[in-house]
Structure 1
Amino acid sequence: MKKITYIIAGLFFMVGSLNAAAFNNGLSNQECTVEYNLYKGDIQAKNFTEARKRLDNLMENCPTLSVNIYKYGYKIAEDMLAKGEREEAVRLYSKIMDTRIIHFPKDLGKVFDSLVNFLKKSGYTHEELFQHLDRAYKEDPSAMSAKNIYLYFEMVMLRNKDIDVQLILDTYDNINDALDEKAGRYQTRLSKLIAKEDGGATLSSKDAKSKRIAEGTLKNIGIVKAGLEQRIEELMTCERLVPLYRRDFAANMSNGQWLKRAVSRMFNKECTEDPLYEELAKAYAEADPSSDAYIFLSGILEKKGKKDEALEMRKKAIELEIDPVRKARHLLTIARDMAKKGQKSSARKYANQALASNPSYGKAYLLIASLYASSANSCGTNEFSKRMVYVAALNKAQRAAAVDPSIASTASKYIKNYKSNIPSKQMAFADGIKEGDPFKIGCWIGENVKVKLK
């Protein structure tokens, strides 16, 4: 019996020696796969000590087998940190990340963002984190977590508030552009899924999951954008912007991106009365004759009373834009301009065109809701019919919240306001009307709704 035991032990020793030799000289694909599966099993069993040995082996001999080698490796570093091995944990995490970047140089914004989260747990100060936050930002701001975007932006503001306001504005714009691009992708996905449901189809489990992810992502983007806007609000005044852009205009007359951002910000902050706005818009159109530029020029033509030319410019902008999400934004810009002029019916028309281009564009629904609510007194003949206009507004606001989670917080304020103004049960009872009855709202709205009561 002892002889057999010695033989088995000898075989294991030989296999172990052969494996050790194989590790030192590189592993075959099959050996890498076996080692990886054992490594994965150790991670799942939380046998991190043994997993650490296999991790070193895999990174040295099988570095391109799977990105999960590195993702699982982070768990080992997390375990070491939990056990109080701070310095060793940070060294291991950094080694894993550096090796991963060499062999899997993708999603680096997310990779650096995860490093920041790990270093936070390790007790790093904000100043020590800044360089890593900056790496994540420069790779892909949209991949950063909300907390890290806020932290990075706050640090940029603190460092540059008194010396380089333009850098702060550029950082803000870069983050927003990245978030807008990401939101556009998820809005397109969500629109298709909502269209399926509206058509009576039941979403598959895969589609239902995709819808939840899109809704969650859009909601988070909305929170981030709102938070950043609050932080930069003190810098976004005409008194600050006009001299800043006047100073840098000559150096950026052919810089399409700079001009677009300058014109957009002055438009959004209603600095359009300053002569600089028109100069910037014209320079933007020359530097980058795009749909965005034509939209801004159309507003200037409109202001000068050249309504026909302005309309043609808008049509040109919309025809030029092929991306449905961007086209919807242009159409909503026109709708808002019409709304400011009191042209409510035209504003609704363009808002509906925006929705035809991007069905999950909640801001278009909110504009229509506000147009309806502002017409309550003029579109009703008595107290009940006037309050029913708020029901129509409420329907649009609720639709906005349903299709566009990125504006959930804003939509909820509209909804709360409109709900407080719909007819009461006592008012309906006096007129012999029940909840759910059909009701036609008159004047320019001309919409059929069902009675809702509070």
Structure 2
Amino acid sequence: MKTFLRISLLFVSIVMTAITVAQAQRVIKGTVYMEGEPAAGITVEAHKGSSMMTSFDGKYEIEADAKSKYIKFTFIDESQKLDIEGKSGDVFDFAFSGKLPSEGGNEEVNSDEINLGTAEELVKAQDKDFMNELSMYREFFKQDDYKSAFPHWKNLYTKYPKSSSNLYIHGGKMYESMLEKASTDAERDKLIEEYMKLYDKRIKYFGQKGYVLGRKGTSWLKYKLDPSREQSPEGADLIAIHKAGYEWVNESITLQGAETEPPVLILFMNTTVALFKLGEMPKEQVVKNYERSVEVANSIIAANEDPKTTEQTQETVLPYIETLFGKSGAADCEALVNIYAAEYENKKDDAEFIKSMLRRLSRAKCTESDLFAQATERQYELDPSAEAAFNMARRYLKKDDMEKAREYYQMAIDQETDNELLATYYYERGLLRYARLNNLVGAREDARKALQIKSDYCDANMLIGNIYVAASQKFEGSALEKSAVFWLACDYFAKARQGEDCSFDAAENLAKYKKYFPNKEEAFMEGLQSGSTYKVGGWINENTKVRF
């Protein structure tokens, strides 16, 4: 809130010009409106008096001479006058465009009624004002001379709001050009406010509310959170920005469904996670929004005939949503179990729902919950697939039934056709062999198979490194031969460190086990030079590099 007030005050102080006139005898005040809403960024100047610029509430207060004839209102390059000569009272509300909320209009200035004709109808009726403004605006716009085009566009936008949807498309382009060139936050905020009103007016006259709200939310978040701003929003101001953007993209998704523009889903999850981290959204709602985002993304893929949109959704949007959710801090067991427990009771015969639920519980490491145990057995009853067998293997592992666990792991491996899942099955069976059965050779075999399928599988590299550390304790040979195993183990920890999920643990292991490397004296006695190839023998039978 402090930042919001600071920006508002700065906005006013920068643009306000206090021209004190010695003979000023009147203090005139009022509110300026555009399309029925308070208008910011309007310069209000009294003839023979002072001037100021309106802030977000649209209010103004200026001094005027007893002989002042008019008040001039200016927005960018367009000016309008209100005649006050001979008028009593000191309060004058003014509609720069549209009508005053309380009086239905501002007859002194807006003598011409708004014309809701289409461009075709207006040309057919030979509306000279429309045709002249249209010709001038188009000519300048084609030349990218937006400064010259804008006043003519503004007249069309104000007086002929239903003439063409291009008014709103081109208007958006001009506002974005001005925003890119804006030099102050106050100037940006004034332009953003007008830009948002353009979206509202487009909905009013041309519909497409869901589509337009998605674009409105996108523009709002882009320019309100622009890193080039003088002052980054914070506190209540930052919350308000995210809340507004969230509401618009949320409604857009509700209205658009499978026709939602894919980037809008990313913004929906971005604002969701931001509001959660700002303490404005419970984690259960984050989970629901994630579920909704995935559901809509899948409906876009199923319904869309455009291969580019399908590819964008599959390869960019869905992975990004998964990453956002995974790192949000909301994807914990407590939240997921709270969400899914009630749903499971109603959908325990829905194999697809159970599969999806188990995957998300597994990613969040919620495999110890009663819900996971119940759903695992139910999944296998409904659909004894590879994935169901894999979950059953985990189930028996927790029961310490190693024989059954191995049986179900093998069933999962034999049935699975998805390489990503198959790599996981091999890795987990390898982990079982290493940690519970002390079968180091078998564990390494499974880890290697996982890496053959998925070469950057950091967990599998970590497993082999840990297997070699364990092997060093019983490795037969000289002191150097035993300690050389740590060279090889650290080779695998170094590979694992390249994976984001393993980087921290791998770095810790590298630091921990480097101290067990053979020393220079031992290596010298064996004729080994730093950087030379060394083969670790025995069942390990693998090459590494000499280093100290």
Given that 1:290 and 1:317 are in contact with CA atoms closer than 8 Å, whether structure 2 keeps it comes out as yes
SS at match of 1:449: strand
Q: Does 1:370 align with 2:466?
A: yes
Moved more, 263-272 or 287-296: 263-272
Match for 2:191: what amino acid?
A
Quick check: 1:153 aligned with 2:276? yes
Who is 1:314 aligned against? 412
Select which of 184, 187, 196 maps to 1:85: 187
Q: Secondary structure at the match of 1:84?
A: helix
8 A Cα contact 1:77 1:93, kept in partner? no
Q: How many residues align?
A: 373
Is 1:432 paired with 2:530?
Answer: no
How far the C-alpha of 1:254 sits from its partner, in A, is: 3.4
Question: Could you say which structure has the higher helix fraction?
Answer: 1
- Distance, in Å, in 2 between the alignment partners of 1:52 and 1:338 is 72
Code of the residue aligned with 1:115 in structure 2: it is: W
Deviations 1:346-395 (A, max 9, x none): 33333333333233333332332233333332336444333322222222
SS at match of 1:85: helix
Which amino acid is 2:184 matched to? A
Shift of 1:288: 6.0
Letter of the 1:116 partner, please give it: L
> Contact between 2:373 and 2:395, CA under 8 Å: does it hold in 1?
yes
Pair 1:89–1:261, CA change in 2 (3 A): same
Q: CA deviation digits over 1:203-224, x for unaligned, max 9? A: xxxxxxxxxxx9xxx9x99996
The 2-side partners of 1:136 and 1:61 are apart by: 25
In structure 2, how many angstroms separate the alpha carbons of the residues matched to 1:143 and 1:426? 58
Note the C-alpha offset of 1:435. 1.2
The answer to whether 1:349 aligns with 2:472 is no
- What is the DSSP-based 3-state SS (H/G/I as helix, E as strand, rest coil) of the residue aligned with 2:544? strand
Q: Distance in 1 between matches of 2:546 and 2:296?
A: 42
Instruction: Please give the alpha-carbon distance, in whole angstroms, between the structure 2 residues aligned to 1:370 and 1:176.
Output: 36
For residues 55 and 426 of structure 1, what CA distance do their matches in structure 2 show? 84
Shift of 1:296: 0.6
SS in 2 for 1:452: coil
Secondary structure, counterpart of 2:179 in structure 1? helix
Partner-residue secondary structure (3-state), 1:429: helix
8 Å CA contact 2:434, 2:467 repeated in 1:
yes
Could you tell me how far apart the structure 2 residues matched to 1:417 and 1:146 are?
39
**Cα offset for 1:81?**
7.0
**Alpha-carbon distance in 2 for matches of 1:346, 1:363:** 16
Distance, in Å, in 2 between the alignment partners of 1:343 and 1:158 is 50
Quick one: distance in 2 between partners of 1:421 and 1:144? 49
- Cα distance, 1:153 vs. partner? 3.4
Of 320, 334, 349 in structure 2, the residue corresponding to residue 254 of structure 1 is: 349
8 Å Cα contact 2:450/2:457 also seen in 1? yes
State the distance in 1 between where 2:321 and 2:516 align.
Answer: 30
Counterpart position of 2:243: 130
More strand as a share of residues: 2
Instruction: Tell me by how many angstroms 1:54 deviates.
Output: 9.5
Whole-angstrom distance in 2 between the partners of 1:69 and 1:407:
49
Give 1:24's aligned residue.
Answer: 134
The question of whether the paired residues in 2 share the 8 Å contact of 1:55 and 1:73 is answered with no
Alignment of 1:259-270 (within 5 A): 259-260=354-355, 262-264=357-359, 267=362
- Higher RCO by CA contacts (8 Å cutoff, separation 6 or greater): 1
Looking at structure 2, the residues matched to 68 and 383 of structure 1 have their Cα atoms a distance apart, in angstroms, of 77
Q: Which residue of 2 aligns with 1:283?
A: 378
Shift of 1:90: 1.9
Over 3 Å counting, the alpha-carbon distance change for 1:118 and 1:442 in structure 2 is same
Describe the superposition over 1:300-352 as per-residue Cα deviations: whole angstroms up to 9, x where unpaired: 35654336741442124423x2xx43443444343334433233333333333
Q: CA deviation at 1:449?
A: 1.2
User: Distance between the aligned counterparts of 1:346 and 1:93, measured in 2?
Assistant: 64
1:280 positional shift: 0.9
TM-score norm. by structure 2 comes to 0.51
Q: Which runs of 5+ in 2 are unaligned?
A: 1-127, 254-259, 298-314
Query: Is 1:328 paired with 2:458?
Result: no
1:238-283 Cα offsets, whole Å, 9 max, x none, are xx87787655531231355653465346656776566654321022
Equivalent in the alignment of 1:299: 394
- Quick one: which amino acid aligns to residue 282 of structure 1? E
Is the partner of 2:473 in helix, strand or coil? Answer: coil
> Counterpart in 2 of 1:45?
none
* Structure 1 residues 289 and 308: alpha-carbon distance in aligned structure 2, compared to 1, 3 A threshold: closer
Q: Which structure has the larger Rg?
A: 2
Larger mean CA deviation between 354-363 and 284-293 belongs to: 284-293
Q: For residue 35 of structure 1, report the CA deviation from its aligned partner.
A: 6.4
Offset at residue 159 of structure 1 (A):
3.6
TM-score, L = length of structure 1:
0.60
Q: Closer, same or farther in 2 for the Cα pair 1:94/1:424, shift >3 Å?
A: farther
Are residues 1:38 and 2:148 paired? no
